Amino acid sequence: MADGQGHEPYPPSPAAAALIEDWLVHLAAIDSASPRTIRAYATDLRRFFGFQAVHLGGEQGLAPLREIKVRDMRAWMADERAQGVSPRSLARRLSAVKSFFRWWSEREGFDATAVLSVRSPKYQRRLPRPLPETAARDVIARMAEQDERDWVAARDTAVMMLMYGCGLRISETLGLTGDILPLREVLRIRGKGNKEREVPVLPAARDAVNHYAMLCPHPLRSGTPLFRGIRGGPLNPRQVSGVMADVRAQLGLPATATPHAMRHSFATHLLNAGGDLRAIQELLGHASLSTTQAYTSVDTSRLMEIYRLSHPRA
């Protein structure tokens, strides 16, 4: 079974289902988790509860779950792997289970060490691969040649300009509305975890967006999507990926040259030009500096150079 859709032998008991809902509300209200994260965690928890119901002897309430042993956790993980779940996906599911049990044990005062002590499976982290500067420029130039309709070509160019010129995620780019028009020097973005950040907008990016807005045949009103599909609905990320695939083939770029690679390239090229790692972290909207380091493909010698130039006692 491909990366394990798996099964849910028993639905959670009413008490367990209510508890899961309480936790999801907590995630949304206190931790500002995104709707996508909440949906994924809900599925992970229901699958886990379903497995444990069978493993522990049939449909049961909450009491047996407070007594889960390490061997029960290992049995669940083994079952997930047997269904084809990758180590990376299993690590995410285990993280959801641990997060839930941490919250539940603190709320009700029981010992969840058996769950919390289980080690996550090891997996190879896929490091992002930025494009060379010339390739990034070539991608943007080719975007203007992919559709004979001027407004569509302008749209695709503007999308790539925002990802490369401002370091936006594709979801952030396609989530923009007509409220930003006309685009000015600074753009306020609401990113992951519902966190807001301000990013400067290069003149070339402003011109690209404003040019697209002028050509777009669909009304770009306040509160409506900025980037539109052919029929006027919101532009789908798959359409952006499809155009990028065509450009990639034309330029002979590797499969890693995806729309998201433009965001990686923004960070790497900014750092190579002398940008500060902390400032880049803020521009990308990363909570962790280590995430920014991975995005920017920083090698040890470059980090040491930044340290030497920036640290007051170096």
Q: Is 192 a catalytic residue?
A: yes
The matching CATH number, chosen from 1.10.443.10, 3.10.310.10, 1.10.3720.10, 3.30.830.10, for 133-259 is 1.10.443.10
Task: Decide if 114 contacts 70 (C-beta within 8 A).
Answer: yes
Which of 47, 142, 155, 263 does the annotation list as catalytic?
263
Which of 41, 164, 212, 295 does the annotation list as catalytic?
295
Which of 92, 129, 260, 302 does the annotation list as catalytic?
260
Q: Is 10 a catalytic residue?
A: no
- Residue 311: the pLDDT is 56
- Residue 184: the pLDDT is 84
Least Cα distance to 174 among 259, 264, 258 occurs for: 259
With tokens 């890693």, the residue in question is 256
Q: Is 169 a catalytic residue?
A: yes
pTM of the model: 0.58
CATH number of 14-116: 1.10.150.130
Boundaries of every domain in the chain: 14-116, 133-259
- Residue 314: the pLDDT is 43
As a three-state string, the secondary structure of 176-216 is CEHHHCCCCCEEEEECHHHCEEEEECCHHHHHHHHHHHHHC
SS3 assignment, position 125 = coil
- Residue 294: the pLDDT is 59
Q: Is 286 a catalytic residue?
A: yes
Which of 192, 197, 211, 269 does the annotation list as catalytic?
192
Q: Which residues of the chain have pLDDT under 50?
A: 1-6, 299-300, 314
- Residue 59: the pLDDT is 58
- Residue 214: the pLDDT is 95
Q: Is the peptide bond before 182 cis (omega within 30 degrees of 0)?
A: yes
Q: Is 93 a catalytic residue?
A: no
Condensed to tens digits (0 to 9), the pLDDT of residues 24-78 reads 888 877 766 667 788 888 888 888 988 888 887 765 678 888 888 999 999 999 9
- Residue 126: the pLDDT is 60
Which of 47, 169, 228, 248 does the annotation list as catalytic?
169
Q: Largest Cα–Cα distance in the chain?
A: 65
